[in-house]
Amino acid sequence: MSAEIITTGDRILEIIKTNNLTKKFNGFTAVDHISFSVKKEEIFGFLGPNGAGKTTTIKMLTTLLHPTEGSAELSGFDILKERDKVRKHIGVVFQDPALDTELTGRENLDFHARMYGLDKENRKKRIAEVLKLVDLEEKKDVLVKKYSGGMKRRLEIARGLMHYPTVLFLDEPTLGLDAQTRRAIWEYIKKMNKEEKTTIFLTTHYMDEADYLCDRVGIIDRGKILVMDSTDNLKNAIGNDVITLSCSNLDELGKRLGEESWIKNVKQHNTFLTLGVKKGEEKIPIIFEIARNLNIKIKSISVRKPTLDDVFLYFTGRIMRDQEKKDAKIENLPPMLRSRGR
């Protein structure tokens, strides 16, 4: 990914730009020479399994950690040399809650507003606005320790927006929330991206989240960016449709199908094959034909539109690590047979 600054007049179109950004913890490389850029007003997603280096990257970009190597600019300001300017331009919602639970929701927002130098009038107006945005007006005078997890998360998102940041960092914004709350938070994120023109950098390990929210995603694994593109392009790279099948002799069938030119790609996994094709429904009979000629019995087969799950699987050769553990018992099933989404 080239990282030249594209500018029209004074406006910087690349809001975040990193160059070989690296973080090592006692010799262990958590983030490994990553270079990427995020454009103005887009929603950019960092997608990766546990321990991929997402949070570490955010901490470096938000000036909380010193990079071991490399550099980054935010809104044109260097994250090492112009920390205060960077800090003024960013809002952060951390992965772990960062609220003072002994204060009320309104007091937490007031604390934030003053730390960011908002004047009295602005404070009042802005606190009312962001509370409305996340539907917490009624709870504003309740101590945060009495909030539910989802309410806390909404308050944090509201707080991140208080000072009109150019970029809002959201580290796993919906981790551990119920389906309804997740939906609601997605809507808030879309709304503030649209209405307040906030550029959004979020991390997630939920495919559906990245799929629904992001204009572009970067897939990160073991500290390295594997691929970065728009969600549509990534899906297209895999094929318009994904066929997943399991059969008696994976190796042989996989090799044979690899010779077919109408198949964009074949990937063999432990217990199943995935094929990227066009017009998947029409290809199923052909595949059966080929298998029968080889005397191979197909146990299951399905066609569907590709998701970011497939993208991840395609680029990393495995399903998300944390899901692997959780789904250890049903490992033998191809991913589409597992319950997905909500």
Ligand X SMILES: Nc1ncnc2c1ncn2[C@@H]1O[C@H](COP(=O)(O)OP(=O)(O)OP(=O)(O)O)[C@@H](O)[C@H]1O
Q: Which residues bind another protein (CB under 8 A)?
A: 59, 62-66, 84-85, 87-88, 90, 92, 94, 96-103, 107, 110-112, 114-117, 159
Site membership for Mg ion, residue 246 (CB under 5 A): no
Let me know if 128 is exposed, middle or buried by CB neighbors in 10 A (0-12, 13-18, 19+): middle
Position among 18, 22, 37, 55 found at the interface with ligand X (CB under 6 A): 55
Site membership for ligand X, residue 56 (CB under 6 A): yes
Phi/psi for 76 (5° steps) reads: 85, 0
Position among 95, 240, 249, 268 found at the interface with ligand X (CB under 6 A): 95
Cα(43)–Cα(303) distance, integer angstroms: 29
Q: Under a CB-based contact definition with an 8 Å cutoff, are residues 33 and 10 in contact?
A: no
Instruction: List C-alpha distances in Å: 296 to 88, 256, 260, 285.
Output: 63, 11, 17, 14
Site membership for ligand X, residue 63 (CB under 6 A): no
Let me know if 337 is exposed, middle or buried by CB neighbors in 10 A (0-12, 13-18, 19+): middle
Position among 15, 30, 301, 308 found at the interface with ligand X (CB under 6 A): 30
186 binds, among ligand X, Mg ion, another protein, none (CB under 5 to 8 A by kind): none
Reported as half-sphere exposure (CB side, CA atoms, 13 A), residue 29 has a value of 12
Site membership for Mg ion, residue 95 (CB under 5 A): yes
Reported as half-sphere exposure (CB side, CA atoms, 13 A), residue 7 has a value of 8
Cα(137)–Cα(132) distance, integer angstroms: 6
| Residue numbers 203-232 binding ligand X by CB under 6 A | 205
44 binds, among Mg ion, ligand X, another protein, none (CB under 5 to 8 A by kind): none
Site membership for ligand X, residue 325 (CB under 6 A): no
Find the shortest distance in angstroms from Cβ 322 to Mg ion.
11
101 binds, among Mg ion, ligand X, another protein, none (CB under 5 to 8 A by kind): another protein
For 268, the 3-state DSSP assignment is strand
Find the shortest distance in angstroms from Cβ 19 to another protein.
21
Tell me, rounded to whole angstroms, the distance of Cα 265 from its chain centroid.
25
Residue 231: closest CA among 39, 45, 55: 45
Nearer Cβ to another protein (111/315) = 111
Nearer Cβ to another protein (124/304) = 124
Residues found near ligand X in the complex (CB under 6 A): 25, 30, 48, 50-56, 95, 205
